[in-house]
Structure 1
């Protein structure tokens, strides 16, 4: 059954950097980034003058300085960002209880019940955020979460984009497949190898082919590349874990191959961790394997620091339980639980 929803995705513009510029207006027109200042550190985010030089979030500091020698890097101040996030979320709550935080700087809002155009609601929310919190936001409005999230990036910064249900098929035609949630660099490269770079091209492949290439996710892709997304907005969702998993077209035959792949996936997971849950306390580290005989195993350990040596140790443990070739490898963290739901929800907007 197809649902009839109106979803708004709000995405704050260069959130951490914007908060810093709000506090220090003299920084507004100079290249600015937030993150670690050491050469081995990475950037959490940067403002638009810095992006003009090619500087991006999750970029190593040394690389950012090569691109923009005059870049000013300020330390992360989570208390300040949480306060701004809380203020923005309180504005959302004036319109709907159906709010799904994704991170400190973005959220889905289900406004299906409001007898007003979604674009009008989004514009009013954005104007209120700017007036009361002193920050700008961009918005996407669509019939589901996929469309709304993609659309919110269409007219950044400080803009919005509406995709009406009747316009979804046309909207998806030229959309790059990498814009679909769940399609990362590896999957995008695999599709490109088959000559598939747009959703229109992906729509020419049937479910059997997609399932062979991507497993159960391939069946989801069949709908997603057509702009069909039935996921509801999950109000008050608290993320319990974060992981990076990959199923391989060709099995990993040795422990050394698994180690090389784990290091790559660990890097991707750390980028997600910095973006999605930068200040959540970690309780456990885990490595998951699925062998060629489809047997699954997970090795985990208590720990707060998701460092490579710990994951290599867990990989050795998991691999030793079988030694068979590996068809799936995953690395992840489990977050510490909290009994204070209000405090936890303030981590996202």
Structure 2
């Protein structure tokens, strides 16, 4: 029996929550993001997208494109609260729910003896009635196609992709819609005349392995409607970190390290609270010209103390060649392990 997977995606989530909380904002171009001119757009309403505004765009650029837009600060705590209520509705349908992010998730409803479309309509109705939000739902026999379907008729969409529709329904889509293809891969493919999934479909399987590495076979399979990933009901957190866009670009190492101190404090408290430690530290910087750079170091010993995380983070930063001013800095710890599962030795 074919699996039945639903992908639920909340429409322009942050801005939709703002409208639900303040109906006077309905129909206006809303941009949610950093408070300062140096911040970035977290999300925006569909009205704002008509002006060319997109997530991760600098706020100053968004203001140029849409000077009459309603610019609001991120209220992350409120969004988490609403997200939890949405997922409570999803869990009322089935326990087989995988939370991918604050505003999207998968449901495996294979064992529910009910028309999947009716299940989707029930979810959409409950979310709208209780929270005043619209969501888009995609239905298919695997995760890749379900996610594609949820994005098909946004906002407030409902799309079903069956086996009989594949691969023809995929052919007109741009290759950037294929999960696993990053921006650089898309750019390289465009440079050799590959723009649609139909173009990609014609390439031999060997090419995928050579061109995309270990994920090549997965990409080859996905555009043929094959995706064997299960809906994972529990997801381990893989990393803990913080980053900040600076109020002013700077090369001042002392100032940059002061932020690492704040991040180390946050990370240490989180690790201690959850009784975990990590072995890999990563420092991230973004330059004034918006180039991202990361440098990581994996240790033989697990870290959890603020002092150790800060000192090692500073050493990594010292190894980074800073040729221009920095606008963003971040610190992340990964390779996490429960303290109950390992004999740990700290500095």
Does the 8 Å CA contact 2:297/2:316 hold for their aligned counterparts? no
Counterpart of 1:192 in structure 2 is 190
- 1:261-283 Cα offsets, whole Å, 9 max, x none, are xxxxxxxxxxxxxxxxxxx9697
Distance 1:150 1:133 in 2: 25
- 1:131-159 Cα offsets, whole Å, 9 max, x none, are 01111101111110100101101111112
- 1:82-112 Cα offsets, whole Å, 9 max, x none, are 1111111111011111111111100011111
1:209 aligns with 2:203: no
Counterpart of 2:164 in structure 1 is 166
How far has the Cα of 1:130 moved from its partner?
0.3
Label 1:334 to 1:171 Cα distance change in 2 as closer, same or farther (>3 A): farther
Counterpart of 1:79 in structure 2 is 77
Which residue of the other structure, out of 282, 286, 291, is the alignment partner of 1:286? Answer: 282
Aligned partner of residue 168 in structure 2, secondary structure: helix
- 1:141-189 Cα offsets, whole Å, 9 max, x none, are 1110100101101111112111112112222222221101111211001
Which residue of the other structure, out of 113, 117, 120, is the alignment partner of 2:118? Answer: 120
Map 1:7-26 → 2, pairs under 5 A = 7-26=5-24
Map 1:133-144 → 2, pairs under 5 A = 133-144=131-142
- 1:200-225 Cα offsets, whole Å, 9 max, x none, are 22122222211111111111111012
Counterpart of 2:27 in structure 1 is 29
Counterpart of 1:6 in structure 2 is 4
Does the 8 Å CA contact 1:11/1:107 hold for their aligned counterparts? yes
Distance 1:227 1:309 in 2: 46
- 1:53-104 Cα offsets, whole Å, 9 max, x none, are 1111111001100000012211111221111111111110111111111111
Does the 8 Å CA contact 1:299/1:314 hold for their aligned counterparts? no
Map 1:1-349 → 2, pairs under 5 A = 4-241=2-239, 285-286=281-282, 299-300=297-298, 313=318, 333-334=332-333
How far has the Cα of 1:335 moved from its partner?
5.9
Structure 2 length-normalised TM: 0.72
Does the 8 Å CA contact 2:239/2:335 hold for their aligned counterparts? no
Does the 8 Å CA contact 1:17/1:46 hold for their aligned counterparts? yes
Distance 2:320 2:139 in 1: 43
Aligned residues: 277
Computing the radius of gyration from Cα coordinates, the structure with the larger value is 2
Does the 8 Å CA contact 2:296/2:316 hold for their aligned counterparts? no
Distance 2:270 2:31 in 1: 24
Aligned partner of residue 172 in structure 1, secondary structure: coil
Aligned partner of residue 233 in structure 2, secondary structure: coil
Aligned partner of residue 122 in structure 2, secondary structure: helix
How far has the Cα of 1:120 moved from its partner?
1.6
Structure 1 length-normalised TM: 0.72
Structure 2 residue runs without a partner (length 5+): 242-268, 272-277, 284-294, 322-329, 339-347
Label 1:79 to 1:332 Cα distance change in 2 as closer, same or farther (>3 A): closer
Q: For structure 1, which segment, 68-77 or 99-108, has the greater mean C-alpha deviation from structure 2 after superposition?
A: 68-77
Superposed CA RMSD in Å reads 3.1
4+ long deviations beyond 4 Å: 280-284, 300-305, 308-316, 335-339
Label 1:62 to 1:107 Cα distance change in 2 as closer, same or farther (>3 A): same
Distance 2:89 2:315 in 1: 42
